[in-house]
């Protein structure tokens, strides 16, 4: 994913969530709805998260230096991990706390229709943000399922925005259900139950993000398709006869390190060895553009 492509989805989500947060807090103040308050905090968390994603992209663009000789690309993974923590603490934990409180001590809602109107408008805005993220993600997703895209993507921002927007839409429906049932039954406990459901939903999404971003921070290798392409293009069958072993790792969303030991045909001089290595690197980069850093160690294949 290019930074620019992901940025469009992030900015769309940021603008939508900032506006929605203001509307939700106004609605919560007027109605006294715990669901609206939880959703307002959720939108604040999402708005902060989009700001963190943009900051992470900017920090990752710094040039490599003596201290970080492979660059700062993993900043995008780090700030995406922070996003997951914010979603869990500021979104999930608050909503669960507020939901438990409102279930134990239900409070009547004032002018609940105001909350309904705000929630319906918020659903429309969140749908726009979600569809923008889907549109930006389709070229990268390819034929994979959406779950496979989230699990296997080495670029963190679009999966984060997709999960956040999905959670926001489902959360809005839950809040609407809680307020709606409270209006129909005249029992405010449903507002508290809706808030609890929102908290659990955000917790599940945050945990999924924490697991995925932790894996990227530790360092993930090439995808299975990329791994096959790298292996196929390293060996030409003439000068490079076989691959002895290989290691790959993403050091940033758009930069992969490839280190391999390759077996060369016997009786090659130094110039021919250099030519074979350079040609192999060119083939690999053409097949897998993210394989920007390639270190090949030439050797002779030994059976013992």
Residue with tokens 């609890």: 196
Q: From first to last of its 304 residues, what are the pLDDT tens digits of the chain?
A: 344 447 778 888 888 888 888 888 888 888 888 777 888 887 888 888 888 889 998 998 899 899 999 889 999 999 999 988 888 887 888 888 888 988 888 878 788 888 888 888 888 888 888 898 888 888 888 888 888 888 888 888 888 888 888 888 898 899 889 888 988 898 889 988 988 998 899 899 999 999 999 999 998 999 999 999 999 999 998 899 999 999 999 998 889 999 999 999 888 899 999 999 999 999 999 999 999 999 999 987 665 5
* Two tokens, residue 215: 């894996």
Please check whether residue 61 is in contact with residue 137, taking contact to mean a CB–CB distance below 8 angstroms: no
Separation between Cα atoms, residue 277 and residue 295, nearest integer Å = 9
Strand partners, 252: 255
pLDDT for 220 equals: 92
Separation between Cα atoms, residue 181 and residue 191, nearest integer Å = 8
User: What single DSSP character describes residue 245?
Assistant: E
Separation between Cα atoms, residue 244 and residue 100, nearest integer Å = 59
Strand partners, 260: 246, 296
Please check whether residue 262 is in contact with residue 297, taking contact to mean a CB–CB distance below 8 angstroms: yes
Angle in degrees, 0-180, between the axes of helices 94-104 and 34-60, rounded to the nearest 10: 180
pLDDT for 211 equals: 92
pLDDT for 276 equals: 93
Separation between Cα atoms, residue 295 and residue 292, nearest integer Å = 10
pLDDT for 117 equals: 87
CA angle (250 as vertex; 249, 254 as ends), nearest 5: 150
Backbone angles phi, psi at 121, to 5 degrees: -65, -40
Chain-centroid distance of CA 223 in Å reads 16
Three-class DSSP category at 32: coil
Separation between Cα atoms, residue 143 and residue 10, nearest integer Å = 23
pLDDT for 304 equals: 53
Strand partners, 255: 252
Q: Are strands 240-252 and 255-264 parallel, antiparallel or unpaired?
A: antiparallel
pLDDT for 14 equals: 86
Q: What is the CA radius of gyration of the chain?
A: 25
pLDDT for 240 equals: 92
pTM of the shown model: 0.81
Strand partners, 277: none
């Amino acid at each position: 994913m290019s930074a620019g492509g992901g940025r469009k989805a992030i900015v769309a989500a940021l603008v939508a969530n900032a506006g929605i947060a203001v509307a939700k807090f106004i609605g919560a103040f007027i109605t006294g709805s715990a669901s609206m308050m939880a959703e307002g905090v959720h939108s604040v968390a999402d708005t902060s998260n989009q700001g963190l994603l943009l900051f992470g992209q900017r920090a990752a663009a710094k040039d490599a230096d003596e201290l970080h000789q492979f660059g700062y690309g993993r900043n995008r993974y780090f700030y995406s991990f922070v996003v997951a923590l914010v979603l869990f603490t500021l979104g999930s934990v608050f909503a669960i706390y507020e939901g438990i409180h409102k279930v134990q001590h239900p409070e009547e809602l004032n002018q609940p229709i105001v909350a309904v109107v705000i929630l319906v408008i918020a659903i429309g805005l969140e749908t726009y943000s979600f569809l923008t993220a889907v549109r930006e993600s389709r070229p990268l997703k390819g034929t994979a399922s959406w779950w496979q895209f989230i699990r296997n993507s080495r670029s963190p921002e679009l999966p984060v925005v997709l999960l956040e927007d999905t959670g926001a839409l489902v959360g809005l429906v839950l809040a609407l259900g809680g307020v709606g049932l409270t209006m129909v039954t005249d029992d405010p406990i449903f507002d508290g139950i809706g808030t609890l459901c929102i908290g659990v939903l955000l917790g599940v999404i945050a945990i999924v993000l924490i697991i995925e971003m932790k894996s990227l921070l530790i360092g993930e290798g090439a995808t299975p398709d990329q791994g096959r392409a790298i292996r196929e293009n390293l060996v030409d069958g003439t000068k490079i006869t076989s691959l002895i072993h290989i290691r790959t790792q993403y050091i940033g969303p758009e930069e992969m390190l490839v280190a391999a030991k390759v077996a060369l045909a016997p009786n090659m001089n130094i110039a021919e060895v250099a030519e074979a290595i350079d040609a192999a690197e060119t083939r690999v980069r053409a097949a897998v553009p993210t394989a920007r850093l390639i270190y090949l160690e030439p050797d002779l294949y030994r059976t013992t």
